[in-house]
A and B are shown apart, each in its own frame.
Chain A
Amino acid sequence: MLEIAIGIILGCCALGAGVAMIAGIGPGIGEGNAVAKACEAIGRQPECKGPVTTTMLMGCAVAETTGLYALVIAILLIFVAPNMLVNILIKTIG
């Protein structure tokens, strides 16, 4: 019985990590938009290449944040949560 419970915990943690990383879609679309617009701007005004590139990198970094939150949650689910949950389970069973 204990084996099944631990198996369910491990499997659900892995599934949760995978589902959390769906959030990677958002920053991907957002950064793609930002880079596309930056390319357009450079095409229109090639002399502004430097400032446009720095602003684009800054914007990309800020847009990336939501994806990184998902990454942190996924890492917690893979490396930290299983140990903790199994410990709690063993403690409650006795």
Chain B
Amino acid sequence: MKKSNNKRFLAVDILLLILTVLPIVFAIVLKVLTEPPADGIQITGARIFFTVHMPVQDWYITEAQINSWLVIISVFFLCLYMTHGIKQKPNSKRQHIAEWAVEKTESLVKENMGEYFAGFAPFIAAVILLSAFSSLLSLCGLFPPTSDLNIVGGWAVLVFVLITYYTCKCGPLHYLKSFAEPVPLLAPLNIISEVATPLSMAFRHYGNILSGTVISVLVGAGLQGLSSLVLGWLPGVLGDIPFLRIGLPAVLSVYFDVFSGCLQAYIFAMLTMLYVSNGFPADDYEKRKLRKNTKHA
């Protein structure tokens, strides 16, 4: 009885792992099948797969959207795998890792946002994971969704809605009054800075990832040209292999794809936490709550 249980457990494990890897494989196959033949190295945006005709404006289904959904599915199954078969007394490595990650995020959120926002930990963890895995997708040679302004802009709009919601917690009047601080004369500037927050967040994330891609492509193209210039005299197939392209692009990729991608994910989550907790007027909210309670009593 116990053995068969064990077997079933292992089978579910393997199934979850396969489901984690499958979306990435699907994305690679899709890219190989649908990529138009190109001569030389090109810098292109997200390719449009097909267009859905809508009354107001056409709806484009692009590579960025599909890759982003595949990352979401992959991360979902990864989380299921990490938490599959958790016990009260952890005996597996992955449970230790999962617990470590959850504890770290919770302490990070509590440190930066305070006790009131302790429920924000899952959201912040989701933002970090999604952003980091989207940027790391370029390691597989795929189009990273974070280098498309539309995807990151969507996240920034979500953050903007959160900021506005928590600033409105003390009523809409209090929200309007917050624009007239410190003097009413500065209201236009305050409105501009309110709008600039999501804009700068989106541009920061997108610009960092995209600049890495552009520089990597430029260096790769330059090294290929140099290699055909210097080593082009080699006979046969040897002359066509760009030997100088081996090595240096990998070093650049470690910085631009791995380090920069993870750093940007961390910074995006950190700025989300800071903006949301800064916009929330904690003292006034406490006072208002007290006043309400005394009225009722």
Contact = CB atoms under 8 A, between A and B. Distances in A.
Contacts of B168: none
Contacts, number: 31
A54 to B, nearest CB: 8
A27 B188 CA distance: 27
A75 B208 CA distance: 13
A71 B264 CA distance: 17
Contact of A65 (B43, B203, B211, B214): B203
Contact of B267 (A61, A68, A71, A72): A61
A65 B105 CA distance: 26
Given A57-B263, A72-B207, A65 B270 contact: no
A3 to B, nearest CB: 24
Contacts of A64: 204, 208
A85 interface: no
Given A57-B263, A58-B270, A75 B203 contact: no
Contacts of B208: 64, 68
Given A71-B207, A72-B207, A75-B210, A65 B267 contact: no
B200 interface: yes
Interface in A31-73: 57-58, 61, 64-65, 68-69, 71-72
Interface in B43-90: 43, 45
B131 to A, nearest CB: 13
Question: Which DSSP category, helix, strand, loop or mixed, fits chain B's interface?
Answer: helix
A69 B210 CA distance: 12
Interface in A3-47: none
A57 B43 CA distance: 29
Nearest to A64: B204
B185 to A, nearest CB: 26
B256 to A, nearest CB: 14
Interface string B195-221: 000001001101110110010000000
Given A58-B270, A75-B214, A65 B204 contact: yes
7 contacts: A61-B267, A68-B203, A68-B204, A69-B207, A71-B211, A72-B203, A75-B214
Interface of B: 43, 45, 200, 203-204, 206-208, 210-211, 214, 263-264, 266-267, 270
